[in-house]
Structure 1
Amino acid sequence: MAENAGNHIIRVLFCGHDFPASHNYTREYLQEYPFVQVDVVPLEDVPDVLENYHICVVKNLKFDSALISRAKQMKLLMQFGVGIEGIDIDAATKSGIRVARIPSGATGNAASCAEMAIFFTLGLLRKQNEMQIAVKQRKLGEPTGQTLFGKTVFILGYGNIGIELAKRLRPFGVKIIGTKRSWTSYVKNSHHLDVQNGVPDDFIDEKVNHEDIHKFASKADIVVCCLCLNSETVGIINRPFLSSMRKGALLVNISRGGILDYESVYHYLESGQLGGLAIDVAWTEPFNPDDPILKFKNVLITPHVAGVTEGSYGSMAKIVGDVAIQMHEGTTFTGIEFVN
């Protein structure tokens, strides 16, 4: 049970003004609940005001032990989505603060990210940047693109997003390889998508364990990164992995920028070994528009919007709002997944 806040105002802090739909949708949902206050504070001001809040939506702010020590009234640190790699979970636990993510499967976040992965894949295959150049040069009938039909797609990280991606790729007539840390909890039921009770693996043609990713990268025309960022996955797309990919294969990343080793990716783009790169997340955010990696015509980048859709953000805003209401009422939190 959550701690009952009685008649007190529950104060919710959103860190920074990026991803504005997150706090805008949450405020809209809570407008009929005067006992919940939602504030958006610039990142540099968060340390000075953190002690006044009960719930914090961290966004991209790093919550280390020093910052957590300032959260005197904090009951919950949460993410507007799944990525909590920036939170020192041990420090939060020692301070009596719960840490939670919003699972992507039930909110539409995973589906939104899967659609973005397909958008990227088609954009690289059909040479989106070169098409725009052709339009400006008044050219017709070029460039010559490729079809997705008949390609092999390697999904790195067969979680919620990977499953939704595989479902959507099926009608394109592709072969799908998927990798997951453990396949033992999966059930073969293509109509059942509840991750907590088991998920289907029959959307894919070949199951791969993480230790075999280099071997199977050589079989793929397109590699899509859907991995969580942690100590084991940071920089996992490095020189050994990229060198094992087919010459001209495409790389798509919709997970976290730290999954890719920047210098390695740049090197293999320049050499021509990597046939194209599409990323919704970058090594540093916001992305530097003058980054030299953008000189390549076969690079597509979007500003971390894969999950930013009306349906996804509306659903997640409702969960954040409901958690604040539940905290006020002293009832059990629903819709979130605790990690401590």
Structure 2
Amino acid sequence: MTGSDAEHVDRETDGGTDTAGEPHVLVLRRGTHGIPVEQYADAIRDRLPGGTVDLARTPTEEREAIRDARFVTGMTLDESLLEAAENLEVFACAYAGTGHLPLEALEERGVRVTNASGVHGPNIGEHVLGAILHFTRRFHVGARRQRRREWRHYQAHELHGSTVTIVGLGAIGRAVADRLEPFDVETIGVRYTPEKGGPTDEVVGFGDEPFHGALARTDYLVLACPLTETTRGLIGRDALTTIDPGAVLVNVARGPVVDTDALVEAIRSHQLRGASLDVTDPEPLPEDHPLWNFGNVQITPHNAGHTPKYYDRLADVVAENAERHATGGGEASLENQVLPR
């Protein structure tokens, strides 16, 4: 029997009651990025040597274990499972986004919710930098000529001296800005509260004038923002008309931040030099969608978030919050808390 198997919820525990201030965490069965969820449970366990970490591996185990659990973590929590949770106090979402959760029901029950904000900074920052360099040096053209066995030179670009606009200055946006620093580029950040400043050379808000003014100076546009009423359709026909035709769009945010029809139109009419899309609308992108067929569109299947260190970084946050909850209860300050608002 493996260490993970030995820690399943059939152990003799009190089902979630913290004793002597020791944390007790229930891990739900769904994993992510193709990495076994046992690794997540083990990572939390390593960080809580004095606590208890249970892993529910079947639907029945989840429903039984969550009944008395106070601190639960997982990728998702549907309403039917929430109804079975009689004593739930904290749900630690293992994703940065929480829009898929029954937030109203959680809020009504007074459950505190945290997310995985910050976990993706390094890997998505590297993904964005790779996408920018891909189009700067036009590796897609080189790859096409290699497939054809053509030894024929082509013109490339230089990142030095370019202007990169980063929409969203959360953990991912900051990671992108940090990784661009050695390249001697000008950076513009876009955020809801520009008066807070940020790691970029300049920070503007989402108002039409400042935002479009930034677009007009942009060589590389990086979308790293959450999907909200403000950002939905943010990059539509107006934005794609304003931006320079030599610019490149990199989207690691959410598909609907970009108007897909407007993007296809912009690519077809040479209003953009290229686009790197880790997210699309719709998603998954249908096999017959025109975006697949453009030589200057790079598509990755929502893969920027993958990193072999995902569970380790997530476990750092969750274990720390489990410790705080065990010792401070409902009064404890939790990292990455999104509920209550």
The TM-score range, normalised by the shorter chain, is 0.7 to 0.9
Report the Cα distance in structure 2 between the residues aligned to 1:158 and 1:330, rounded to whole angstroms: 31
**Which of these residues, 271, 283, 291, is aligned with residue 281 of structure 2?**
283
Partner of 1:90: 104
Partner of 1:194: none
Instruction: Answer yes or no: is the 8 Å Cα contact 1:120–1:278 preserved in 2.
Output: yes
Report the Cα distance in structure 2 between the residues aligned to 1:302 and 1:52, rounded to whole angstroms: 37
**Which of these residues, 26, 29, 42, is aligned with residue 11 of structure 1?**
26
1:25 alignment partner AA: Q
Q: Give the structure, 1 or 2, with the largest relative contact order (CA under 8 Å, sep 6 or more).
A: 1
SS of 2:166's equivalent in the other structure is strand
Partner of 1:118: 129
Partner of 1:168: 179
- 1:47-101: CA deviation from partner (whole Å, max 9, x where unpaired): x955742455553x585x6774454454333332421122242321102322111
Partner of 1:101: 115
Report the Cα distance in structure 1 between the residues aligned to 2:318 and 2:189, rounded to whole angstroms: 32
1:93 alignment partner AA: E
**Which of these residues, 253, 262, 265, is aligned with residue 263 of structure 2?**
265
For the aligned residue pairs, the C-alpha RMSD in angstroms reads 3.2
Report the Cα distance in structure 2 between the residues aligned to 1:309 and 1:333, rounded to whole angstroms: 28
SS of 1:87's equivalent in the other structure is coil
**How do 1:72-91 residues align onto structure 2 when only pairs under 5 Å count?**
72-91=86-105
Change (3 A) 1:97 1:339: closer
TM-score (norm 1): 0.78
Structure 1 position 303 matched with structure 2 position 271: no
- Kindly state the Cα deviation for residue 323 of structure 1 after the two structures are TM-superposed: 4.4
2:169 alignment partner AA: Y
Report the Cα distance in structure 2 between the residues aligned to 1:40 and 1:251, rounded to whole angstroms: 41
21-30 or 289-298, larger mean C-alpha shift: 21-30
- 1:115-172: CA deviation from partner (whole Å, max 9, x where unpaired): 2111111112223333222222112244432121121111111222222222221221
TM-score (norm 2): 0.78
Count, aligned residues: 313
Instruction: Answer yes or no: is the 8 Å Cα contact 2:227–2:256 preserved in 1.
Output: yes
- Kindly state the Cα deviation for residue 328 of structure 1 after the two structures are TM-superposed: 6.4
Change (3 A) 1:30 1:249: closer
2:239 alignment partner AA: F
Change (3 A) 1:141 1:227: same
156-165 or 19-28, larger mean C-alpha shift: 19-28
Report the Cα distance in structure 1 between the residues aligned to 2:126 and 2:339, rounded to whole angstroms: 27
Partner of 1:294: 292
Instruction: Answer yes or no: is the 8 Å Cα contact 2:45–2:52 preserved in 1.
Output: no
Report the Cα distance in structure 2 between the residues aligned to 1:126 and 1:287, rounded to whole angstroms: 26
For structure 2, which runs of at least 5 residues remain unmatched after alignment? 1-15
Instruction: Answer yes or no: is the 8 Å Cα contact 1:179–1:207 preserved in 2.
Output: yes
Change (3 A) 1:68 1:267: farther
SS of 1:300's equivalent in the other structure is strand
- Kindly state the Cα deviation for residue 263 of structure 1 after the two structures are TM-superposed: 1.7
- Kindly state the Cα deviation for residue 268 of structure 1 after the two structures are TM-superposed: 1.4
**Which of these residues, 36, 40, 57, is aligned with residue 53 of structure 2?**
36
Q: Which runs of 4+ in 1 moved over 6 A?
A: none
Percent identity reads: 25
2:37 alignment partner AA: H
SS of 1:304's equivalent in the other structure is coil
Instruction: Answer yes or no: is the 8 Å Cα contact 2:43–2:311 preserved in 1.
Output: no
Instruction: Answer yes or no: is the 8 Å Cα contact 1:51–1:74 preserved in 2.
Output: no
Change (3 A) 1:73 1:305: farther
- Kindly state the Cα deviation for residue 222 of structure 1 after the two structures are TM-superposed: 0.9
**Which of these residues, 37, 47, 61, is aligned with residue 23 of structure 1?**
37
- Kindly state the Cα deviation for residue 113 of structure 1 after the two structures are TM-superposed: 1.7
1:227 alignment partner AA: C
Partner of 1:318: 316
161-170 or 30-39, larger mean C-alpha shift: 30-39
2:107 alignment partner AA: T
**How do 1:179-328 residues align onto structure 2 when only pairs under 5 Å count?**
179-186=190-197, 201=198, 203-211=199-207, 212-288=210-286, 290-323=288-321
206-215 or 277-286, larger mean C-alpha shift: 277-286
253-262 or 19-28, larger mean C-alpha shift: 19-28
- Kindly state the Cα deviation for residue 40 of structure 1 after the two structures are TM-superposed: 5.5
Report the Cα distance in structure 2 between the residues aligned to 1:310 and 1:144, rounded to whole angstroms: 36
Change (3 A) 1:242 1:62: farther
- Kindly state the Cα deviation for residue 298 of structure 1 after the two structures are TM-superposed: 1.0
Instruction: Answer yes or no: is the 8 Å Cα contact 1:22–1:313 preserved in 2.
Output: no
- 1:272-308: CA deviation from partner (whole Å, max 9, x where unpaired): 2122111222334445455331111111122333233
Change (3 A) 1:338 1:129: same
- 1:3-23: CA deviation from partner (whole Å, max 9, x where unpaired): 8444997432144x4423373
